[in-house]
Amino acid sequence: MKKLMITVSCLLLAIGSVFASFTFSFGPHEPYFNPYTLDPYGFNGSRLKAFYMTGSNHLGNNMMIEDFNKPVDDPDHYRIVEYRDFNDKFRLMLNLRTGFGASVLRMGWPEYFMVDFAVHGSLNTVFATTGGADNLGFDGSFFVGGEMRIMDMFTLHAGIRHFSGHVGDEISNDIMKDIGHLNWEPVSYTRDNMLEIGLGYDGCRYFDIWASFIMPLPGMWWSPYFSQPDWIHTTGGNPQYTPDRNPAQWAVRGAYGDGYGGYIIQLDANVRYPFLERYEVYATGELKLHQDGMTNHTLSPDDDTARWEPEFSAAIGFSFVNAVENLDLTIELGYHNGRFPLLNFFWKRIESFSLSFIIR
C-alpha cells in the first residue's frame, strides 16, 4: 500500500509540474513566423522605399490588358499597352508598404512546444515621382493560419495566403484614351486563396533563415487564366484537364500537365549584429522562384519554357532599436533583380537600387 501511495504521489507531482509550466493566453502577441523580408507583400512592418530602375525598358509606363475586340488566338488579345511617353525621370519610383501580424491565441510549454493562431495583412502601392505622382496600383495580401514553435528556435506555420492586385485609376483613365474602345480590362493578378507552408529558424541572436512554399487549392479563384494550373476548377467542374471557365482560351493553351501548379518558393536569410543596446547593423537576402514564369506570361504554348522565374533581392541596413515606443527605425540600402513591386506588373522584370525607411 505504501508503494502504491508513493507511486501515485510521484505521478501527481509529475502531472502537476507539467501543467504548472503550461500557458494559455489570448493575444495580441508577436507572431512566431514573421521574418524580416524584402518582399513587397511581406508583413513585417511599414516601409517607404525610393527605388531607381537601371534600364529605360523598365519604366512603369505600360501595363498588360486583355482586349476582347481581338479573338483569343490573336497575339494582341493579351498585350502590353503604353499609356504615357515617360522619359528617364520616370525611372525613380516610390514604394509604400504597410504590414502587421498578430497571434490571437497561444498555448503550450514556452521552452519546448507552443501553438498559436495568427493573422497577417499588408497593403502595397507604387507612385511615380514625376508627372503628377501617378499611382500605378495597389495590392492586398493576408495570411490566416496556425503556427507551431519547437524548442524556442524552430517555427512551422501553415494556412491560407491571399494575393490581390489592383490597377491605379489614373493609369486606367490614360490607357482608355490610347486603346480607343471600352471592351477591354487590365490583366489582374489574383490568388484567392492559396496554401502556404513555412519553416523558420531563429535560435541564434545573429542569424535567422526562413523558407516558405505556396501552392494553389483546387477550388480557388485564379487570374490571369493563361497561367492557371489544370487542376483548379473554379466553377466546380472536373479538376483534371478541364477548360473550366474559359473554353475558348483553353483551346489555345491546352493542358500544362500535373507537374505545373503555379507554385511559389521563397527563402529569406538575415545576419545581424546588435551593439550598445540601441543599435543594430544587418544584411539580408531573399530568393523567390515563380513557377508561373514557365508560361512566359502568354497564352501561346509555343512560348512555354521549363525554367522557373527567379527573383533576387539583397540589402544592408542600420537600425535604431526601440527608437519610438518599442518600434525600431531602420535605414536600408537595397538591390533587386526581379519583378516590378506590384502584383499586376508580374510580367515586368526590373533591376533597381533603393533607399528605404522602415518602422517595425
The answer to whether residue 210 sits within a structural domain is yes
The answer to whether residue 10 sits within a structural domain is no
Average pLDDT value for the chain: 86
Q: Report the percent of the chain where pLDDT is more than 70.
A: 87
Domain around 109: 23-359
Judge whether residue 14 has pLDDT over 50: no
Distance CA 20, CA 15 (A): 8
The winner for highest mean pLDDT among 81-85, 239-243, 259-263 is 259-263
Backbone angles phi, psi at 133, to 5 degrees: 55, 50
What's the pLDDT band for 21 if we cut at 50, 70, 90? confident
Residue-level pLDDT at 13: 45
Residues 6+ apart with CB under 8 A from 307: 293, 294
Distance CA 68, CA 78 (A): 9
The helix (H) or strand (E) run that includes residue 174 is helix 169-179
The answer to whether residue 244 sits within a structural domain is yes
Residue-level pLDDT at 325: 77
Mean pLDDT over 343-357 rounds to 94
Minimum mean pLDDT among 234-238, 265-269, 327-331: which range? 234-238
Minimum mean pLDDT among 6-15, 105-114, 257-266: which range? 6-15
- Hey, CA dihedral for 215, 221, 226, 228, is it positive or negative? positive
Tally of structural domains, the chain: 1
Distance CA 215, CA 139 (A): 19
Residue-level pLDDT at 59: 61
Judge whether residue 98 has pLDDT over 90: yes
The answer to whether residue 8 sits within a structural domain is no
The answer to whether residue 157 sits within a structural domain is yes
Distance CA 139, CA 164 (A): 6
By three-state DSSP, how is residue 248 classified?
helix
Judge whether residue 20 has pLDDT over 70: no
Backbone angles phi, psi at 299, to 5 degrees: -85, -20
pTM of whole model > 0.85? yes
Distance CA 292, CA 339 (A): 12
The answer to whether residue 2 sits within a structural domain is no
In this predicted model, what pLDDT tens digit does every residue of 250-294 receive, in sequence order?
A: 888 888 888 899 999 999 999 999 999 899 999 999 999 999 999
In this predicted model, what pLDDT tens digit does every residue of 134-146 receive, in sequence order?
A: 788 999 999 999 9
CATH number at residue 295: 2.40.160.40
- Exposure of 154 by Cβ count < 10 A (0-12 exposed, 13-18 middle, 19+ buried)? middle
Residue-level pLDDT at 171: 74
Residue-level pLDDT at 12: 42
Judge whether residue 333 has pLDDT over 60: yes
The answer to whether residue 172 sits within a structural domain is yes
The answer to whether residue 7 sits within a structural domain is no
Backbone angles phi, psi at 141, to 5 degrees: -145, 145
Amino acid at 297: H
Residues 6+ apart with CB under 8 A from 184: 65, 66, 67, 68, 69
Mean pLDDT over 109-128 rounds to 92
Residue-level pLDDT at 134: 79
Minimum mean pLDDT among 61-65, 86-90, 159-163, 274-278: which range? 86-90
Nearest CA to 141 out of 214, 59, 50, 80 is that of: 214
